[in-house]
Chains A and B, each alone.
Chain A
Amino acid sequence: MALHEEVAIRIYRDMVRTRALDEQMIKNSRGGIMRAGWHSGLGEETIVAPISLLNREDYVTYTHRGAYVWIAKGMDMKEIIAEFYGKATGCSKGKGGTHIAKPSLGIFGRAGSQGGHFVLATGMALAAKMRGSGQIIISCFGDGCGTRGTLHESMNYASIHKLPILWLCENNGYSVTVSVDKLWPIEDLSNIAANYAMPGKTVDGTDVVAVTEAAQEFVARARRGEGPSLLEMKFYRWRAHVEGTTTAYMRKEEVETWKKRDPIMRFEQVLTKQNILKEREILKIKAEAEAEVQEAQRFAENSPDPAPEDGLDDLYADSHT
């Protein structure tokens, strides 16, 4: 395995933390005071791996299923849950909900229209390149919004100008309720990379090692200034598009088959087999994650609401002039 032990443990820990947060947010979606909708990413935690290859100052854009990105990039769970609760202590001060932002960690926010990120990510990468800062960006997108025209505009432009982007496709089988085979005439979505003269690769999205190795190669390429690349992770969305909506279009056996390929479970097997983690260390990581979530949950519940009149703030920035 090309994975450094320390990196492997960090990825595993963040996957477990992501899942713990996700499961709490699923609970929070069943009544209660949480206002924002939760798009669960259970079964897709592998996305932690590519994100964990980034430095603090590197950029990311994420989809509506963004928990793995926020966690792997270093956000505090407190300000995430609090934001979904619309509290003053949320990262977006109760104005964002699903629009999680932490610019100091390279997380500039989320476009409500999926596929909006392509163009934003291109601009962030352009900024990095023009400054010669060495920063790179991972721009996540789903199989659904990948059919948008903004993908073509952005991938084309990014390739022409060799912008430092890893386009990370989260192919989870469904765009809201429409299955991917109805949206694309090709099996492997990474095949489109060739049209933009960039390397593309499709990997088993439940295999952390395979995903990490592929991502390492593409991240290094971006850092060398050789331009963008496209990595497709194939996995499965275990739950509904958004909590509280139907899963009638998902076949039961399909869900069960994919749950047997749980990326966290598979990675645990790798880590224990290679003696990187022992059973009791795994239990400890899981217990710590659960405790962290519970503390963040209490923080969110006990946080104050913003003052109603704060609803007028933050539209404009103070100007130089």
Chain B
Amino acid sequence: MKTLFSKPSDVFVVLPDGSRRSLRDYLLPSAVLMLAALLLMISIFLPYWSMTMQAPQYPKGLTVKVYVNHLQGDVREIDALNHYLGMPPLDEGGRLERSISVVAIVVMGLLVMAAVFVGNQWAGVLALPSLFFPLIFLGDLWLILYRYGHSIDPQSPLGSAIQPFTPPLFGEGRVGQFSTVARPELGLFLALAAVVVVLIGLWLHRAAYKPILEARKKVALTKSGISEA
């Protein structure tokens, strides 16, 4: 690695105008974008968001961890409790999203990888979905939470006594004897890190490929100048 990056003295990229650039200038954005894609893919296996509920009779608390494609934790028990309030089962929210999320994230990652092989501004367009992804995730989650708190079944034991509400996306809340804490988890942090890494990658990508485009333009200009002459 060290020799590849620090001493590429005898290997060059020759631009159309004959100027030379270090090979590293091209390897680096590729590697960074690949890393971003990798971070996204890894996040599939990690929880994005969690909610912990504490009450006296649950000394260990109740936790639900939200992955992009499934829910984990005390889902059964939280559902059992929610039925008193007339809230729908946790599993009912975001079914479509969970069913397509893995494919969507893999595609996003592949698009970021594809950007490596595109030597112009389209690279940025390919990376665009991955940049918006965390925002979309959080927006969707908020919508799901809103729907949970606003689909209260009036036929349930406590349904008529509950005002519609939206459980907090982050931070503390309270339902009955339960205090709840919602927080982002490692998967979401990886997706956010992927955004930063993609941005760095794109900046490096632009720094590497813009000179090629400019050199090409310059050569074209020179050629046309010669032919005119």
A binds B: no
Chain A residues in the interface with B (C-beta under 8 A): none
